Amino acid sequence: MAIEIKGLTKHYGNVQALRGIDLTLEPGKIYGLLGRNGAGKTTMLNILTGRQFATAGTVSMDGAPIAENDEALRQIYMLSEATYYPESMKVREAIKWSAAFYPDFDSSYADELTGRFGLNVNSRVSALSTGYNTIFKLIVALACGAPYLFLDEPVLGLDANHRDLFYKSLIQRYSDKPCCVVLSTHLVEEVSTLVEDVVIIHQGSILKHQTREELLAQGYTVTGSAAKVDAYAAGKNVIGTDAIGGLKTVYILGQRGEGAEGLEFTGLDLQRLFVQLTND
Amino acid sequence: MTANIKKSTRYQLSDVKKALIIYYIIITAIQVLNWVISLIIRSSTPTILVVGNSSTVDMTSTFFLFVIGLCTFKENFGMLLQNGFSRRSVLTGRLLSYGVMALVMTVVDRVLTLLFNLIGKAVGGFANVTAFELSYGPGGFGWQMLGLLYTLLLYLEMLLMGYCISLMFYRLSKLGKVLVGAGVPVLVLIVGPVLDLNFTGGKVYTAIGQFFMVAFGYADNQPWYAVITLTVISLLASLCAWLMMRRATVRK
């Protein structure tokens, strides 16, 4: 039961938000959907869930179009930055209705999570702070039992403790009931250990779609004195540099060759690679 | 009926439950106030007889339902699309919930009218007459049943008109909202009559008025015409709602 995206294109007037995206989201995988502001991540997720319409291209689940398909749409829960729950609705009611809408909703798990996160279920959704609003939507997402979870900015407004609790809860949910999770976030480093596949969108196109290991194996980092690092890096595909005092770090794409005395070799980190790949 | 349509209907019905309860509490309170005032006047000046007719319940319900129609699109649309419903399920659920609401309110309003009149006979005050009786006059059992059908369709039509207006404003751009919101009333209520008066001597507006007199059966005292007209308007409004909703996107 995979979601297949073919030639997905979206125009907003003269602005081209998506340019022919081809992507398959497989069940049971955790994807990191990375991209700079305005890259097209949210637009793509909104089209996948039928909230917006594509200018061209198709989105299907098991060969059937997702748009206007209740059966397919019920398999997906999307947490978005915007809140679409009625403002006057209390958190308790919103969770109750979510349980009525999603047949596999786990109410006891939702109760457990509200306790763990300290969410007041008697508050109105509109009265929640940014962080607790995100927590409320995260709890519904984790408890709804949908096989596809699209989490767009899932840690918006969350403090470090709550972010940690969310990542742990997500892993627990994934281990108990494997599902396809798409994590769209700017906090690249925080999700780098969670994701299996990385999809980098840049200016409406997919720049990279590889497993995290494949992506990070494409390069390495060399640190040492500026002179030695420069000498080593000469003629290599350097994608970025950092320098503090006499100490220099270069990020190189390509296979690591022989080591050199006085230089430290480490792997690339996802955030650094992302920044270098998407720098215009 | 699919599971999603059932859920959509149930959700959209529950959404207006509280508003309905408050509405009927207010209607009852106003009626009680009417009796109290009537009793006070009669006790202080027994020679004065407080009489009169008022179509309080169903006419008020008609306006109430128009407002309900105006208020029930945006939040429900977002909520249901957020929770895996297609636009078709949202609208079908909406239409079914409106049907149920219109039916329940038709029956409740008729019962309340009878009850209010029964108590009113003993207490005094204004008598409640249905909008149907005010328009077409009183009649026997068959006539009363026709009145119920008329009220049901009138309620449904008002809900749908409100819903369509709200959907239209949701779909329009900012400029479109201003043009339609201000332009249409100005065109229909000011510019149109002035032009009509100056160029045709008011024939166009008179013809429109006569058309509505016939379409609603006022001219010949034929409520069946109104039943047919209200059915056609409701069907057209449902079609318009679908045409506007099928390409509506979620907005904050």
Please say if the pLDDT value at position B96 is more than 60. yes
User: For residue A186, what are the contacts with CB-CB under 8 A and spacing of at least 6?
Assistant: A37, A153
Report the gap between the CA of B95 and the closest CA in chain A (Å).
Answer: 17
CA distance readout (Å), A24 to A4, A173, B30: 5, 22, 62
The residue of chain B nearest to residue A100, with distances taken between CA atoms, is B7
Q: Is the CB of residue A260 less than 8 Å from the CB of residue A228? A: yes
Q: Would you call A68 and B86 a contact, using CB atoms and an 8 Å cutoff?
A: yes
The residue of chain B nearest to residue A102, with distances taken between CA atoms, is B83
Taking the C-alpha atoms of A273, A274, A277 and A280 in order, what is their torsion angle to the nearest 10 degrees? -130
Angle of CA points B207, B210, B211, to nearest 5° = 85
DSSP3 helix / strand / coil % (chain B, rounded to 5): 80, 0, 20
How many CB atoms within 10 Å of residue B23? 18
What is the full DSSP assignment across B176-222?
Answer: HHHIIIIIHHHIIIIIHHHHHHHHTSSHHHHHHHHHHHHHTTTTTT-
Position A197, amino acid:
D
Is the four-CA dihedral B173, B175, B176, B182 of positive or negative sign?
positive
- Determine the Cα–Cα distance for residues A4 and A23; give it in Å rounded to an integer: 6
Burial B1-18 (b: 16+ CB within 10 A, else e): eeebbebbbebbbebbee
Q: Which of A3, A59, A70 to mutate to test the interface with B (most CBs of B within 10 A)?
A: A70
Write out pLDDT tens, residues A109-143: 999 999 999 999 999 999 999 999 999 999 999 99
Which positions in chain B touch A69 (Cβ < 8 Å)? 86
B135, two tokens: 């328009």
Which positions in chain B touch A85 (Cβ < 8 Å)? 78-79, 82
Q: Is A100 on the interface with B (CB under 8 A)?
A: yes
Q: Would you call A97 and B11 a contact, using CB atoms and an 8 Å cutoff?
A: yes
Burial B116-155 (b: 16+ CB within 10 A, else e): beeebeebbbbbbbbbbbebbeeeeeeeeebbbbbbbbbb
As to burial, measured by CB atoms within 10 angstroms (0-12 exposed, 13-18 middle, 19+ buried), residue B234 is: buried
Give residue limits of the domains in chain A. 28-47+70-214, 218-278
- Phi, psi at A225, each rounded to 5°: -70, 150
Which positions in chain B touch A83 (Cβ < 8 Å)? 252
The mean per-residue pLDDT over the stretch A220-238 comes to 92
Q: Would you call A68 and B4 a contact, using CB atoms and an 8 Å cutoff?
A: no
Report the gap between the CA of A184 and the closest CA in chain B (Å).
Answer: 17
- Phi, psi at A3, each rounded to 5°: -100, 125
B118, two tokens: 């029964």
pLDDT of residue B33: 87
Please say if the pLDDT value at position B225 is more than 60. yes
Facing A53 at nearest CB: one of B4, B78, B249: B249
Mean pLDDT of chain A: 94
Q: Is the CB of residue A211 less than 8 Å from the CB of residue A25? A: no
B196, two tokens: 């009509």
Q: Is the CB of residue A42 less than 8 Å from the CB of residue A152? A: yes
User: For residue A9, what are the contacts with CB-CB under 8 A and spacing of at least 6?
Assistant: A16, A18, A19, A20, A21, A54, A55, A56, A57
How many CB atoms within 10 Å of residue B107? 13
Q: Is the CB of residue A202 less than 8 Å from the CB of residue A17? A: no
Report the gap between the CA of B244 and the closest CA in chain A (Å).
Answer: 14
Q: When comparing pLDDT for B122 and B206, which is higher?
A: B206
Q: Which of B2, B8, B86, B252 to mutate to test the interface with A (most CBs of A within 10 A)?
A: B86
pLDDT of residue B2: 86
Facing A70 at nearest CB: one of B86, B247, B250: B86
pLDDT of residue B57: 87
CATH of domain A218-278: 3.30.70
Facing A70 at nearest CB: one of B10, B85, B252: B85
**What ipTM goes with this model?**
0.90
Burial B169-189 (b: 16+ CB within 10 A, else e): ebbeeeeeeeeeeeeeeeeee
Percent of chain B having pLDDT more than 70? 94
Q: Give A 228-267 residues with CB within 8 A of chain B.
A: none
CATH of domain A28-47+70-214: 3.40.50.300
Percent of chain A having pLDDT more than 70? 100
The mean per-residue pLDDT over the stretch A52-71 comes to 95
Position A238, amino acid:
V
The DSSP H or E segment spanning A7 is: strand A3-12
Report the gap between the CA of A89 and the closest CA in chain B (Å).
Answer: 10
| Residue among B80, B96, B251, B82 nearest B160 (CA) | B96
The mean per-residue pLDDT over the stretch B21-43 comes to 87
Please say if the pLDDT value at position A277 is more than 70. yes
- Determine the Cα–Cα distance for residues B13 and B18; give it in Å rounded to an integer: 10
Which positions in chain A touch B11 (Cβ < 8 Å)? 97, 100-101
Please say if the pLDDT value at position B157 is more than 90. yes
User: For residue B229, what are the contacts with CB-CB under 8 A and spacing of at least 6?
Assistant: B215, B216, B217
DSSP3 helix / strand / coil % (chain A, rounded to 5): 35, 30, 35
Q: Residue A90 gets which letter from DSSP?
A: B
Give residue limits of the domains in chain B. 3-171+216-245
Report the gap between the CA of A107 and the closest CA in chain B (Å).
Answer: 16
The mean per-residue pLDDT over the stretch A75-104 comes to 95
Report the gap between the CA of A12 and the closest CA in chain B (Å).
Answer: 13
pLDDT of residue B47: 61
Q: Is B76 helix (H, G, I), strand (E, B) or coil?
A: helix
Burial A213-230 (b: 16+ CB within 10 A, else e): eebbebbbbbebebebbe
User: Tokens 């209907």 appear where?
Assistant: B9
User: For residue A146, what are the contacts with CB-CB under 8 A and spacing of at least 6?
Assistant: A74, A75, A76, A77, A102, A104, A179, B84
A235, two tokens: 């003629």
- Determine the Cα–Cα distance for residues B224 and B154; give it in Å rounded to an integer: 13
Please say if the pLDDT value at position B191 is more than 80. yes
pLDDT of residue B129: 83
- Among A87-96, A130-139, B121-130, B150-159, which is the least confidently predicted range? B121-130
pLDDT band, very low/low/confident/very high, at B118 (cuts 50, 70, 90): confident
Mean pLDDT of chain B: 91
Please say if the pLDDT value at position B98 is more than 80. yes
Q: Which of B83, B173, B242 to mutate to test the interface with A (most CBs of A within 10 A)?
A: B83
- Determine the Cα–Cα distance for residues A184 and A38; give it in Å rounded to an integer: 12
